[in-house]
Amino acid sequence: MSYAQRSTLSFSTRELLDLAAAWIVLSVAFALLLSREPAVGGIDPTELVRMTGLSVVTVGVGFLSHELAHKIVAIRFDQIAVFKADYSMLFIALLSAMVGFLFAAPGAVYHRGRLTARQNGLIALAGPLTNQALAAVFFTLILVHDTVGAPGIVREIGQLGLWINLFLAAFNMIPWGPLDGATVKRWNTSVFVLVFVPSLLAALYIMFVVGI
């Protein structure tokens, strides 16, 4: 395969199906978690439908953008890069959401080819940085609502999008196992600290001080 072929962003039918499945299942899983009513021990169907819609444009966009960032940078470094969904983990994500917590590892972008430590680190870093950028975009929706009086749904999308993208950035930067943080830390500890610490502090602030 030539360099030009490897450097073109393209998707097989299987890859598109995997991305769509992960997007939908993650959105539903988060909606199940966020629409639970512990006081009555169940899920409000109307709230579930509403939260699924919100999750599609916040959780779904955050997940999809994260994985596409990995793929784009990997291709930039002359890699063959493909997203593969982990259907057993997607099933676990749904089950865990139903019982009140969420464990989500929907899949990953797999790439092959010769890489330096720097290139591998930059590919890993692309996902969390994309989530940080998206968090800023969703934050502007909150500002728009508060400044010009946009409909309430705009603020809801902004709040959930801000929280989930900060969470995705922080979680994926944890320096453990297959997570992005471990790869970034092996490449450059200073870069790891500069990205992970602000991500973690922002996510904790939103979770425990601001709330979602």
| Alpha helices, H only, the chain | 3-6, 13-34, 45-56, 59-76, 87-98, 117-148, 152-172, 180-187, 189-205
Nearest to 63 by CA among 171, 149, 155: 171
Cα distance between residue 163 and residue 138, in whole Å = 9
Cα distance between residue 6 and residue 113, in whole Å = 10
Contacts of 191 (CB under 8 A, 6+ apart): 121, 125, 184
The catalytic residue positions are: 67
